[in-house]
Amino acid sequence: MFDLAPATDYGLLFLRVMAGATYVDSGYHDLKNPDARSKSIGMSKGFTLFLAGAEIAGGSAVIFGVLQQLAAIGLILIMLGAIQKKLLVWKTGFWGKDGFGWSYELTLISILLVILFTDGGRFVLVR
């Protein structure tokens, strides 16, 4: 019906910016109160700070298109860790109680796979 293929790179740019902003915001909030966040996820404060830094770095790389495939792989690994924790430790279902299941992480993994497989599109700084 519509030939939107010429706009693919703009769509991928938007996808990268939104995914990256999600991770930068998450990491920033974890850095603001690492004690509370470490308690909520059952990890040490040091590991929580590491995750926050990785989310900010990975999210920024995805947004600006700097080694975005490597950043996507790193962020996928973080999401797989979150899913593992929710499934095996907390025994959370797909939707979870009060919407805190692992559907969110799986959605982000899907977005990151698009970035990984397309190399983020044409509008990147460093491949």
| Distance from C-alpha of 1 to C-alpha of 3, rounded to nearest angstrom | 7
Cβ–Cβ < 8 Å for 110, 72 = no
Helix (H, G, I), strand (E, B) or coil at 12: helix
DSSP secondary structure of 70-117: HHHHHHHHHHHHHHHIIIIIS---SS-GGG-SSHHHHHHHHHHHHHHH
| pLDDT for 79 | 98
pLDDT tens-digit series, residues 102-119: 999 999 999 999 999 999
| Distance from C-alpha of 13 to C-alpha of 106, rounded to nearest angstrom | 20
pLDDT tens-digit series, residues 10-57: 999 999 999 999 999 999 999 999 999 999 999 999 999 999 999 999
pTM over 0.75: yes
| Distance from C-alpha of 56 to C-alpha of 31, rounded to nearest angstrom | 10
